[in-house]
Amino acid sequence: MNVFVYPGSFDPVTNGHLDIIKRVLPICDKLIVAVLNNSDKVSAFSVNERVMMLKQVLESEPKIEVDSFDKLLVDYMRLHEATTVVRGLRAVSDFENEFMFALLNKNQYPEMETIFMLTNQKYLYLSSRMVKELAMYGGNIDEYVPAIVKEALARRYSA
């Protein structure tokens, strides 16, 4: 069984993430979307809120499990007998970091692979950060996030 892990902050999930998920599903048996619990990073939503939003938007897909983790990615993968990490690549700026992490991980866990899905052109400049900034200043984010995320952002930034 081919278990893939798609790790990230997902703060919050965007249509760019969902596009990667939709495209990777046909090539795996099970996909774990894993929210990284990184206490160094200031986040807009708690890990629990991020997991709940992902669960809501992905609930109809039986191959998907949503989870969170706070250990090394390679240890998390071993625990779940996962073979492959999925990451998305947008512009050149993603490449250097992703390249470094993929090599570091491979070094720690030689049996695993990292695969990169190229962004959909529509979402080339889309990031959780951009969505949060737009939401904060009242911009239109309809084409970037699912409705429940839009509502959560509106609540977060309404005060």
- Residues lying near ligand ADP in the complex (CB under 6 A) are found at 8-10, 14, 16-17, 20, 87-88, 90, 94, 119, 123, 126-128
80 catalytic residue (yes or no): no
41 catalytic residue (yes or no): yes
SS3 119: coil
CB of 78 to ligand ADP, least distance (A): 19
Distance of CA 108 to the CA centre of its chain: 22
105/128 with CB nearer ligand ADP = 128
128 catalytic residue (yes or no): yes
Residues 63 and 60: their CA atoms lie apart, in Å, by 9
CB of 158 to ligand ADP, least distance (A): 23
46/158 with CB nearer ligand ADP = 46
Q: Which secondary-structure segment (H or E) carries 159? A: none
CB-based contact 131:141 (threshold 8 Å): yes
What are 125's two structure tokens? 């400049």
14/105 with CB nearer ligand ADP = 14
Cα distances from 85 to residues 4, 22, 38, 74, 150, in angstroms, run 6, 15, 18, 9, 28
Cis amide prior to 12 (ω within 30 degrees): yes
CB of 125 to ligand ADP, least distance (A): 8
CB of 140 to ligand ADP, least distance (A): 17
16/146 with CB nearer ligand ADP = 16
The candidate with the shortest Cα–Cα distance to 152, out of 70, 56, 33, is: 56
**Residues belonging to the active site:** 17, 41, 90, 128
